Amino acid sequence: MRIFGIASLYQFIKIQARRARFVHCFPATTRQVALSIKKDPSPVDPVFGQG
């Protein structure tokens, strides 16, 4: 499950990288994901599929 979550996150970053330059996009994407996880802690992590 964890590997699948990481693969999904990687796929998401790849899609984002297509829209903008990777170097420009990656820090913002990582920050946004980290903020959303911090802001909305849930019993099952939507990214990594862990409790």
pLDDT in tens, 29-48: 677 777 766 665 555 555 65
Res 15 pLDDT > 70: yes
Sign of CA dihedral 33, 37, 40, 43: positive
Domain that includes residue 27, residue range: 2-39
Q: Is residue 48 part of a domain?
A: no
> What sections of the chain are H helices per DSSP?
2-19, 22-39
Q: Is residue 15 part of a domain?
A: yes
**For the chain, what is the domain count?**
1
Single pTM value for the model: 0.29
- pLDDT tier at 16 (50, 70, 90 boundaries)? confident
Identify which of 15, 17, 18, 7 has the alpha carbon closest to the alpha carbon of residue 47: 7
Q: Is residue 13 part of a domain?
A: yes
The count of other CB atoms within 10 Å of the CB of residue 9 is: 15
